[in-house]
Amino acid sequence: MTSLGVYLNFPGTCEEALNFYKTAFAGADVTMQRFGETPVEVTDETRNLVMHAEFKAGDVHFMASDCPPGMEFKLGTNVTLSLQVGDADEQTRLFDTLSQAGNVGMPLQETFWGARFGMLTDRFGVNWMLNHELKK
């Protein structure tokens, strides 16, 4: 099964935005992980930035993060469609199809959070993340 979520990127204002959305969506339960809480090496500048956060509003799954230094932030293109794909072969097929004549930002690869993950921008300028949870 494949489900769709929304991923929002912010220029260092993710926590502030999440507090705003928490109010707007009537107390949505937000979970948050900072770059400094991961096994990835970070600088003092990125330590307290939000690496990943999520909340639900009704049936909509929202995820968010701060863009670390060096990662381009452009207002208006800071929304990404995030697919949670239940089948690895389907994830590969979708990734290969969507990336045709597009730009691969991160090839499909295993991650420290227990998933196979990749990012791309398709030929129409739509940003995509494809995540497949690995069996434990």
Task: Give the helix ranges, DSSP H, for 1-136.
Answer: 14-24, 88-98
Q: Which residues pair with 32 in a beta bridge?
A: 53
Q: pLDDT band for position 88 (50/70/90)?
A: very high
Task: Give the pLDDT confidence score for residue 82 in this predicted structure.
Answer: 92
Helices (H) and strands (E) in the chain, counts: 2, 8
Q: Give the integer Cα–Cα distance in Å for 11 and 14.
A: 7
Q: Give the integer Cα–Cα distance in Å for 113 and 37.
A: 12
Domains and CATH numbers, the chain: 2-133 (3.10.180.10)
**Using only C-alpha atoms, what is the Rg of the chain?**
15
pTM above 0.85, yes or no: no
Q: pLDDT band for position 56 (50/70/90)?
A: confident
* Percent of the chain topping pLDDT 70: 99
Q: pLDDT band for position 78 (50/70/90)?
A: confident
